Amino acid sequence: MKLKPELVLDAAGVIAANFSPQFWKELVSRYELPQDRLAQFKQDIRVRFWTGMITEDEFWDDICTRFPAIDKEEARRALLAQITPLPAASLIPEWSEHAHIHLLSNHREEWLESIVTPLRPFLRSVTISSAAGCCKPEAPIYERVEQYFQHFERKASVLFVDDQAKNFREAEARGWTTLLADEQGDWIHAVNQFLKI
C-alpha cells in the first residue's frame, strides 16, 4: 500500500494572514505609543505568551498596564480582524485526499480557532505553540508533530511549509523537505507538484 506523504503547514503567513507587524504598527500610530518600548514589550513577553505560560487575558492586561492609552477591547478586535484565511486554507480539503495534513504554528489557539475549526475534519494533527508549551524552532515541537506521522519509520516523504526560513533547520535535520511560503502564494504550485495534483 502506497504511503501518503505528510504535509506540515504553518498557520500565519501560510493558511492565515499574519497580523504582525501590521498590528504593532497600528498600535503605535493609533495610541501614539513609543515604538522602542513596544518592541521591548514584545521581546520580553514573546516566549511566555506563545508557549502558553500566560493566558491571553494576562497578555492584554500586561500590555494595557504598560501602555494605559490602549483600549483593550478595541485592540483585541483590531487584532482578530487581521487574522483571516489565506487562499491555501480553501485547498486543504483537496490536499487531504493526497496527504496527511498537519498544522504546526507559533500562535495562540484562541486567535486561530475560527480558521482551524472548519478545517479539523481534514487535518491529522494541530500543534499550536500556546497549547504545546514549546515553540519553533526548538526541537520538542517538531517531535510532537512527528508522533502523528503514519509509518514515519518507513520514511514517508514530509513537506514542511513555513513563511520563516529560521524554522527550517530542525525540520531539515529530521529529513523533512522545506518550502518557504512567499507572500504571492507561488508556493502553492510547489505543494501541488509535491502531491502530484
Burial of 2 (0-12, 13-18, 19+ CB in 10 A): exposed
For residue 160, the enclosing domain spans: 6-17+84-194
What local confidence, expressed as pLDDT, does residue 21 receive? 82
Phi/psi region, residue 32 (left: phi>0; alpha: psi -120 to 50; beta: rest), is left
Residue 126 lies in a domain: yes
Same domain, yes or no: 165 and 136? yes
User: Is the domain of 172 the same as that of 118?
Assistant: yes
For residue 141, being part of any structural domain is answered with: yes
pLDDT tens profile 106-136: 999 999 999 999 999 999 999 999 999 999 9
pLDDT tens-digit readout, 63-78:
999 999 999 999 999 9
133 with 63, same domain: the answer is no
Task: Give the helix/strand (H/E) hosting 158.
Answer: strand 158-162
Residue-level pLDDT at 151: 66
Of 82, 104, 131, the domain-final residue: 82
Mean pLDDT across 10-31: 93
- Overall domain count for the chain: 2
CATH code of the domain in which 93 resides: 3.40.50.1000
Last residue of a domain, one of 65, 82, 99: 82
* Percentage of residues of the chain with pLDDT beyond 70: 96
1: in domain:
no
Phi, psi of 111 (to 5 degrees): -80, -20
102 & 10 share domain: yes
Q: Quick: pLDDT tens for 142-164.
A: 999 999 998 655 556 999 999 99
User: Within this chain, do residues 71 and 125 fall inside the same structural domain, yes or no?
Assistant: no
